[in-house]
Amino acid sequence: MKAKIMGAGSYIPKKKVSNAMLEEIMDTNDEWIRTRTGIENRHISDGEDTSILCGKAALDILEKTGISAKEIDFIIVATMTPDGSSPSTACLVQDYIGAKPVMAFDVNAACSGFIYALSIAEKLIQSGAYQYGLVLGGEVMSKMIDWQDRSTAVLFGDGAGGVLLGATETEGSFLGEDIHSDGSRGEALTAGRRVVSNFQLEQAKKNDFLQMDGRAIFDFAIRSVPESIRTVIEASNSSTEDIDCIIAHQANYRILKAIAKKLKIPAEKFATNIAEYGNTSAASIPILLDELLTNGELVLGSEKKVILTGFGGGLTWGSILIQL
C-alpha cells in the first residue's frame, strides 16, 4: 500500500498585523523588518487557540476533498504551541470535526514538525491498516512571544494548514525523505520551559517566552538544509533540474535566498508567502502548499516533483520529495 496526498487546506486568523502596527508598540520599523526578513504582515489569533485553527484547517481539507470526518482513520497535529499539555491538540481536533474515536496525537519538532508528522503518517498508511489520515501543522505563536522583544516578535504569526493522505495500490506521492535532529544545539531556540518545582524543591522560574539565537539558526539552516535537499534528490535518482518547486519553511527570506544560492537552484523555484504571514512554524509548509494548489500554481495529478523542507528548534531539520 502507498500513501497519496489527496488534498490540502488551511486556516488563517482574520486579524492582520502590519509592520507599521508593530512600530507603535516596540522599537522597530517597517524597513528594518522587510530588509532583514522579507516580512510585511503577520496574522494573529483573536482568541482562537491552536486546536481551533487546526480544526478549521481540517474542515477546509475535508470540504475540498469531499471526504467525511467519519472516514478519517487517524489525526496527527504538528505543533509547538498546543492548547495545553493534555489533552493533545489532535484529540481536540478529533472532537471539533466530529471524527470517530480514532488515533490522534501531537508531534513537536518545532518548525520541522509538519515534515516529521507527514513522514509518520506515510508509514501508517503504508502499513495497510489505515485508509485516510489527516496531517496538520498549526501554531498560535503569538501566545509564545514576548511582544517587547523585537528580535522575535516581528518574525512570527499564527495559522494552520494540512493535508489528507489516502491509501492507494498504484502510484504514491512519496519518493524519498531525509530527516534529522541534533539536541546538542537545542539551546539555539527554546520556548515554554518549566523548571522542576515541587513541595521539596523550589527553583526560580525560567523565561518561558520563545528565545532564539538568530545567528546560530541562520548558520544552521544554510548548512544543513541544502545538504538535506541534496540527499533526498540523489536518493531518489533525481537531479536539481527535475525539481519543479521547493516549499521550504518560511522562516526568513534571506535564509531561503542563501539556500537557493548554495544549491545553485534558481530562487524562483522556492515558493514564498512569508511577506503576508511571517513565520508560522509547523504551519508554514502546509499553508503554502495549500495556497499553491488553490491558485493553480501546483496541481494534484500533474506529476510535478516538489520538495518540502523544514528546519527549526530541537534542532531539527528534514526534507521530503513528493510527486503530485
Phi/psi at 244 (5° precision): -90, -30
For this structure, is 54 an active site residue? no
Distance separating alpha carbons of residues 22 and 150, to the nearest angstrom: 9
How do beta strands 316-323 and 305-312 pair? antiparallel
Distance separating alpha carbons of residues 90 and 50, to the nearest angstrom: 10
Q: Which helix (H) or strand (E) holds 7?
A: strand 2-11
Which of the residues 43, 108, 249, 252 is marked catalytic? Answer: 249
Q: For residue 242, give the 3-state DSSP assignment.
A: helix
DSSP annotation of 70 reads G
Which of the residues 43, 91, 108, 111 is marked catalytic? Answer: 111
Span between the terminal Cα atoms of the chain, in Å: 17
Which of the residues 19, 108, 252, 279 is marked catalytic? Answer: 279
- Closest residue by Cα to residue 274 from 298, 296, 248, 303: 248
Beta-carbon neighbour count of residue 90 at 10 Å? 27
For this structure, is 43 an active site residue? no
Contact 74, 113 (CB under 8 A): no
The partner residues of 111 in beta bridges, in order of sequence, read: none
- As to burial, measured by CB atoms within 10 angstroms (0-12 exposed, 13-18 middle, 19+ buried), residue 118 is buried
Catalytic positions are 111, 249, 279
